[in-house]
Structure 1
């Protein structure tokens, strides 16, 4: 029987949503082992006064197996 745990984290990128997700998972993987997957729970953008996207932010729920 396996036991899984879910943690929540936020990540950002100036390049886009996919880069924000990859960056967040890579940083998480430095200290969490056996990551099984992630849900993108929320997406937010930071804009300048003209409405141009300056930064993408994602809220991730990361699942990993507890040993």
Structure 2
């Protein structure tokens, strides 16, 4: 059993970056999440998941007029050989 080199360890691991985004919609929280994902997809490839962290609504005259959310979007970094077969493990809360 030989010692594993640092290079072997890095090239066989899944490396994911997470960004935090804010989005809003006049229609629903689901629409706000879709908008966040759509906007992130314009400049980021290999998006693997979106985790909605917080939700908030703006109320005027007793009605919701705006749905806002704070979300984390995770994506595989370029050069990750396993990114096409990505198998992210859930954490203990069921999130990625």
TM-score in terms of structure 1 length: 0.95
Matched, 1:51 2:57: no
Gaps of at least 5 residues in structure 1 are: none
Gaps of at least 5 residues in structure 2 are: 1-12, 79-96
The structure with the largest strand share of the pair is 1
Aligned to 1:7: 19
Aligned to 1:24: 36
Stretches of 4+ aligned residues off by more than 4 angstroms: none
Corresponding residue pairs, total: 66
Identify the structure with bigger relative contact order (alpha carbons < 8 Å, sequence gap 6+).
Answer: 1
Q: How far off its partner does 1:51 sit?
A: 2.1
Per-residue CA deviations over 1:26-58 (Å, capped at 9, x if unaligned) read 00000010000010000000111x221000001
